[in-house]
Structure 1
Amino acid sequence: MTMNRRSLIGAAGLALGAPALQMAQAAEGAAPAAAPPTAKAPPPPVTKILAEFIRSSTYDGLPENVRREGVRTFLNWVGVAIGGSHHETLDIAVSALKPFSGPPQAGLFGRTERFDIMNAAFLNGVSSHIFDFDDTHLKTIIHPAGPVASAILAYAEMHPVSGKDFLDALVVGIEVECRIGNMVYPNHYDAGWHITGTCGPFGAAAATAKLMGLDEEKTIFALGLAASQLVGLRESFGSMNKSFNPGRAASNGLFAAILAAKGFTSSEHMIEVRRGWAQTISTKQDWSQITDGLGSHYESALNTYKPFACGIVMHPTIDAAIQTRDEDHVKPEDIRSVDLKVHPLVLELTGKTAPKTGLEGKFSIYHAAAVAFVEGAGGEKQFSDRAVNDPRVVALRQKVHPVVTPGIDAAQVDMTVTLNDGRTLHRHIVHAVGSVEKPMTDAQLDAKFKDLADGVLPAAQAERVLRMCRDLPNLSNAADVTRAGVAGA
């Protein structure tokens, strides 16, 4: 067999090595072979690291501010779960699932029905998100409590746990889901995933594993099984499907921990490996967001609570509209136009120009601005079918003109209101009420709770449930809150 010069050089390269081969190819006039790609540093074993954190956390080891925020998170979650308990969304879900439910193990806030704990976790999770009025971790736009609290409160009805242990598990679950969210946000969210549904199962599994006292290996399995149950796409926003996502995240995480407790195995590196969760669903993986400060810096201390029952990016606009209405005594009929300078995310998430239902209104910056001027509020009543179809609101939302503007943060709005007499009024909101920088007070949270419970529970019963939420660390059984919050209790 004969070899030409190029073949001989190629064969010789096997012995000469890559540098010599490239020199020979250059002398021959051929393009140099591409250098092999630089290998990425292997990720840290974050699944194991998180399992160790879950196992080691104690109530006594939590900083006081973290305990306090955990109680506020729980109170806010119970309030929104009660408030959403008789929405059409939950009525449909209860009717659909009741024939297939297992033993009546756990209750639903604001209702009389009892379900098996898996379905109860799902339904309370749905109820708590229906109004889009639940807590928000602003760094990721995760609604942390829905998946976690729904799962462990259902579990606590079968396996009593103290308020202190419950609060520790709640904080642990929120920490896990938010740190995982930090790791992949915003790329994961930008791709179209509903991050509460995708990160929520980790939080629910972590918190349930904590209450179960699972060893490290089984806790790792619980996290691995949670990784296989991500749920939720942003296309669901504006429909009942959106509240399905945190509800399903709750039951999926609970399901994962229950299986793991019996020895159902998973990969021990399910979050971090090449074909694991993070590298499959996101082009960004910042492992340091999981590991840095774990156990000393708490994401749950950064949780926020909504004064307005809609997407968080609309809150600055509602805040600005209410301030302008009240302080400048503006009537809707006096308005010629409302011009808004906003971040791109505002129109991406809430650009519905002509919502027909209350759920669609939660994703309409046009409706949010208009209803705030007309009714001077932004609660669940302002995002009802009635409000969305109010002729005064419909007329005014046609005068709302949001424009994406460089330099405007997602948490800000620059509003200019032009009146029919030619005057202009200006508001620039840097931090809306309900933000980390301008948080809702305890009194405001209590008022929100009572308003949500109004019409669902008698006032005395609502007050009793509220006090129990405030006293969570001192309860001998956290599930007493559910029992006090069902209809007829």
Structure 2
Amino acid sequence: MAEVSRRSLMQLAATLAASRSVQAATVAAAEQSTAGKAREPSAPPAVTHALARWAIGSSPDDLPANVRKEATRTLLNYLGVAVGGSHHETVDIAVSALSPFSGPPQATLLGRRERFDVMNAAFVNGVSSHVFDYDDTHLKTIIHPGGPVISALLALAEYHPVDGKQFLSALALGVETALRIGNAVYPDHYDRGWHITGTAGPFGAAVAAGKVLGLDEQRMVWALGLAASQPVGLRESFGSMNKSFNPGRAASNGVFAALLAAKGFTSSEGMIEAKRGWAYTISTKQDWREVTEGLGQRWEVALNTYKPFACGIVLHPSIDAAIQLRAEHRLTPAQIAAVELRVNPLVLELTGKKTPQKGLEGKFSVYHAVAVALVEGAAGEKQFSDRAVRDPVVVALRERVTPTVDPAVKPEQVDMTVSLKDGKRLTKHIEKAIGSVDVPMTDQALESKFADLAEGVLPSAQTRTLIDLCWNVEKLAAAGALARAAALGAVGPR
């Protein structure tokens, strides 16, 4: 009996211990669950609906004068770079690959004789607009909004007529949408490796196309949702043809989203902001105030900038400094012993290619950019050609370029020291590079850039006509005339 009692007591103790362990585990699990829930994001505002409601409720008369002006400058810059890039090898390959499969000839391929269906035309023109890396730039996010938005809008405008005022309004709304969504996730999203022009661009293209198609709020929500399902572009592609694929696909994806939504193809109601939606899936940062605050009063499109140099935007301060020092001291490569730069960390992160072999790679090489600017006193497309990156004089000088990163240096700044063989040291500090918000390109400079890019593609008289059409876009009865006037062989708007 004593043995039975001892056995019973031991069993009872074991049962109590097990019970306490289960209770402790349950409490711990509950606490962990509660803590996990506390860490989950609070319910975000209905961002997708807010954007859709704002977009469909906006009219051309709602745009402030400065926004209309910057939207027009964005259009001018876009057409120049798209026409200029229209016969690049990258574009030729895309046209050759798509020609057998392209649908009816609904839209112009800018700077070319071919016409494609709307979606493929949007893609090809988007590629053309970015292949020189000479397009517009929103400096806060490094988004190039013109390529996705205007490529979509211009192709659709030939198929679905829209007047110039509505066209420019749709352009501004599309660009604003892409930039605000980009603001909400930058820089975390970009740091993860996404090419933000390709991921935010489809939203802008969808809104612009949706405005032309006359979508109501529900269908615009669907269009934004379908755009959210089509992010494209990785930073690993930089320096290759793949990079210009990204804004091209962003343009066609946006058109696709709007066309589907117009016919009633549905999407989730909160694809941008939902827990398993776009922003939480591809970024660790979600700042919804960037999207909704001041919508319709504060305009990001007014902060759009235009590149004076045909390469990555973070290189511009260094190029600016090099060109100025060359001009001020009449420098020749033979005089230069060494070039030292103090730059923002982004410069080496994005443009650290030491030995570019092709022009596209040169656009992402601080070594080449500085060397060629010192040798030739310019940094246009010719300075980022295959010829330029293989020039023995440029190659020799870029081996003497030494950049050092300093987090205290802002992306728009640089400190350059050029040591000469005679012992002299020349210095130049750039606080704000030309082409920045604070030192913008003038209208005349944009026209000159356009003319330089179009040279060899369009006759000078046609180029002048196209520039004039851009400045007077709001007076056009049919905005599709812009695209047709940019076709190879065109004599003016038809």
Q: Normalising by structure 2, what TM-score?
A: 0.94
| Correspondence for 1:438 | 439
Q: Secondary structure at the match of 1:60?
A: helix
The correspondence of residues 13-412 of structure 1 with structure 2, limited to 5 A, is 34=32, 36-37=34-35, 38=38, 39-412=40-413
Q: Cα deviations across residues 126-165 of structure 1 (Å, max 9, x unaligned)? A: 0000100000000000000100000011000011111110
Cα 1:394–1:47, aligned 2, differ >3 Å: closer, same or farther?
A: same
Per the TM alignment, residue 5 of structure 1 is displaced from its structure 2 partner at its CA by 3.7
Amino acid at match of 1:340: L
Cα 1:162–1:11, aligned 2, differ >3 Å: closer, same or farther?
A: same
Q: Secondary structure at the match of 1:338?
A: strand
Per the TM alignment, residue 34 of structure 1 is displaced from its structure 2 partner at its CA by 4.9
Q: Cα deviations across residues 374-405 of structure 1 (Å, max 9, x unaligned)? A: 11001111101111111111111000000112
Q: Secondary structure at the match of 2:82?
A: helix
Using the alignment, how far apart are the partners of 1:152 and 1:362 within structure 2? 28
Which runs of no fewer than 5 residues in structure 2 stay unpaired? 1-10
Q: Cα deviations across residues 328-370 of structure 1 (Å, max 9, x unaligned)? A: 2111110000000011110010000000110000000000000
Amino acid at match of 1:162: D
Per the TM alignment, residue 12 of structure 1 is displaced from its structure 2 partner at its CA by 7.3
Q: Cα deviations across residues 188-235 of structure 1 (Å, max 9, x unaligned)? A: 100100000011110000111111111111100000000111100001
Cα 1:35–1:112, aligned 2, differ >3 Å: closer, same or farther?
A: closer
- How many residues are treated as equivalent by the alignment? 476
Amino acid at match of 1:240: M
Q: Cα deviations across residues 246-295 of structure 1 (Å, max 9, x unaligned)? A: 00000000000000000001101101111110000001111111011111
Using the alignment, how far apart are the partners of 1:350 and 1:74 within structure 2? 27
Using the alignment, how far apart are the partners of 2:171 and 2:399 within structure 1? 43
Q: Secondary structure at the match of 1:449?
A: helix
Using the alignment, how far apart are the partners of 2:30 and 2:54 within structure 1? 49
Using the alignment, how far apart are the partners of 1:40 and 1:110 within structure 2? 48
Q: Secondary structure at the match of 2:60?
A: coil
Cα 1:451–1:12, aligned 2, differ >3 Å: closer, same or farther?
A: closer
Per the TM alignment, residue 40 of structure 1 is displaced from its structure 2 partner at its CA by 3.2
Identity of matched residues, %: 64
| Correspondence for 1:25 | none
Cα 1:257–1:35, aligned 2, differ >3 Å: closer, same or farther?
A: closer
Which runs of no fewer than 5 residues in structure 1 stay unpaired? 23-30
Amino acid at match of 2:467: L
Q: Secondary structure at the match of 1:428?
A: strand
Moved more, 328-337 or 118-127: 328-337
Q: Secondary structure at the match of 1:408?
A: coil
Using the alignment, how far apart are the partners of 1:215 and 1:57 within structure 2? 12
Q: Cα deviations across residues 82-115 of structure 1 (Å, max 9, x unaligned)? A: 0001111111111111011100011111110010
Using the alignment, how far apart are the partners of 2:263 and 2:120 within structure 1? 20
Cα 1:107–1:11, aligned 2, differ >3 Å: closer, same or farther?
A: closer
Using the alignment, how far apart are the partners of 1:55 and 1:241 within structure 2? 34
Per the TM alignment, residue 4 of structure 1 is displaced from its structure 2 partner at its CA by 3.7
Root-mean-square deviation over aligned CA pairs: 1.7
Amino acid at match of 1:195: I
Amino acid at match of 1:289: E
Per the TM alignment, residue 11 of structure 1 is displaced from its structure 2 partner at its CA by 7.2
The correspondence of residues 437-456 of structure 1 with structure 2, limited to 5 A, is 437-456=438-457
| Correspondence for 2:5 | none
Using the alignment, how far apart are the partners of 1:297 and 1:5 within structure 2? 66
Using the alignment, how far apart are the partners of 1:482 and 1:210 within structure 2? 18
